[in-house]
Amino acid sequence: MDAGTGVVGLIGHPVGHSKSPEMMNRAFRALGLPFVYLAFDVSPAELGTAVRGMRALGFRGWNVTIPHKVAVLEHLDEVEETAREIGAVNTVVAREGRLVGYNTDGEGYLRSLVDETGLDLVEQKVLILGAGGAARAVAHALAGAGVKSITIANRTREKAERLAASLRKGDARAVSLSEVERVIGETTLLVQTTSVGMYPETEAIPIDPSLLHERMTVSDLIYRPRKTLLLREAEARGARIHGGLGMLLHQAALAFEKWMGKPAPVDVMRKALEEAMEPAGGG
């Protein structure tokens, strides 16, 4: 690092668990790029101040994570169409004095899902658990990919209904979590987007595991632990499983490419991410 080192980073609250710095900094070193990636714990009350500071300090860009993905929109100069439809931003690019917001979560998720499972998306009947920022990105991406149907189940049904109504393509509907039993039998792709089961509450599970069946793929966006209780229960019942590490990798690679204007070293980033996860016993 020297006076010419550029800065990118991550803002969220909390961020101490993030493995993105290890992954991104390995990528910069692999390509010989004079940049450093840092994580910043920013409280919701300080979000506007943080964005103004990063603009003033000349950051090339940054990632945005919970709980700022929606609130950050009002602090940006421009929001790309997909991110605006989703209603959430996870990547900001500083370009010619303007801050532009993007969302790479949805595309990153699709890349990971198809690469790791080989699913034919147009044949899928999808059930999404949750209706937050991650669910919005995944739902819009899956709708754009042409899945057969999307059902969104959320503790607050009204929130699920708003998300379903925002999906302009395909067949979308909303149910409450208590109604999952009624629709899960026809589900071929279950996507878990909530924080239930995330470290350290690793023995929590978002639905009754007896509802899982062998005709479905179960995808959990959580990457710590690598294999959540939901995935373990799904695997035991003969379902195909898909963890969240690949989404983390591919959304980061897409952000890297927007900042740097060149292909990300995905294999290098994957190795760094896997190594960073090892001390937690695979989580």
269 and 160 co-located in one domain? no
Q: Looking at the structure, do residues 190 and 263 belong to the same domain, yes or no?
A: no
217 is in an annotated binding site: no
Per the domain annotation, does 226 fall within a domain?
yes
Strand 98-102, strand 91-95: pairing: antiparallel
Q: Going along 82-183, which residue ranges are E strands?
A: 91-95, 98-102, 125-129, 149-154, 171-176
Same domain (yes/no): 158, 38? no
Does residue 130 have a known ligand-binding role? yes
Spell out where 103-193 has E strands: 125-129, 149-154, 171-176, 189-192
Confidence band for 168, pLDDT divided at 50, 70 and 90: confident
Same domain, 145 and 225: yes
Helix, strand, or coil (residue 157): helix
Segment 55-81 mean pLDDT: 96
pLDDT of residue 279: 54
- State the catalytic residues: 69
Does residue 154 surpass a pLDDT of 90? yes
| The residue type at 240 | R
Angle (CA) 147 103 274, round 5°: 90
The pLDDT value given to residue 68: 94
Domain assignment of residue 154, yes or no: yes
Assigned domain for 118 exists: yes
Helix (H, G, I), strand (E, B) or coil at 273: helix
Q: Which two tokens stand for residue 150?
A: 């999307």
Statement to judge: residues 116 and 225 lie in one domain? yes
Q: How does the average pLDDT of the chain come out, rounded?
A: 94
Q: Does 1 fall in a domain? A: no
On whether the CB atoms of residues 99 and 51 are closer than 8 A, the answer is yes
State how many domains the chain has: 2
110/74 same-domain check? no
Q: Does 76 reside within a domain? A: yes
Least Cα distance to 282 among 236, 232, 237, 233 occurs for 232
Kindly state the average pLDDT of the residues 122-135: 95
Stretch 198-213: mean pLDDT: 95
Residue-wise pLDDT for 81-113, tens only, equals: 999 999 999 999 999 999 999 999 999 999 999
Domain of residue 14 covers 6-103+246-280
Q: Are both 181 and 233 inside the same structural domain?
A: yes
268 shares a domain with 202: no
Percent of the chain with pLDDT over 70: 98
Q: Is 154 annotated as a binding residue?
A: yes
pLDDT at 58 exceeding the cut of 50: yes
104 is in an annotated binding site: no
Tell me the C-alpha distance between 102 and 98, whole Å: 13
What is the three-class DSSP state of 140?
Answer: helix
- 17-21, 121-125, 225-229, 249-253: lowest mean pLDDT where? 17-21
Which helix H or strand E contains 11, and what residues bound it? Answer: strand 6-12
Q: Any known ligand binding at 224?
A: no
Is residue 133, in this structure, part of any structural domain at all?
A: yes
Do residues 59 and 125 share a domain?
A: no
Is 124 assigned to a binding site? no
CB 261 within 8 A of CB 238: no
Phi/psi at 142 (5° precision): -65, -40
- What is the CATH number for 194? 3.40.50.720
Give the 3-state secondary structure of 228-255. Answer: CHHHHHHHHCCCEEECCHHHHHHHHHHH
132 is annotated as contributing to ligand binding: yes
Q: What is the mean pLDDT of residues 243-257?
A: 97
Q: Is 52 labeled as ligand-binding?
A: no
pLDDT-derived band at 199, boundaries 50, 70, 90: confident
Instruction: Kindly state the average pLDDT of the residues 156-176.
Output: 92
- Percent helix, strand, coil in the chain, to 5, is 45, 20, 35
The verdict on residue 220 lying in a domain is: yes
Residue 226 has pLDDT above 80, yes or no: yes
Residues 216-240 have a mean pLDDT of: 96
Q: Given pLDDT bands bounded at 50, 70 and 90, which one contains residue 169?
A: confident
**76 and 10 co-located in one domain:** yes
- The CATH number of whichever domain residue 267 belongs to comes to 3.40.50.10860
Same domain, 13 and 123: no
9 marked as part of a ligand binding site: no
> What pLDDT does 281 receive?
40
Question: Is residue 9 pLDDT above 80, yes or no?
Answer: yes
Q: What angle do CA 105, 109, 111 make, to 5 degrees?
A: 120
Per-residue pLDDT at 124 exceeds 90: yes
Helices 105-117 and 133-144 cross at an angle (nearest 10°) of: 60
Domain shared by 76 and 133, yes or no: no
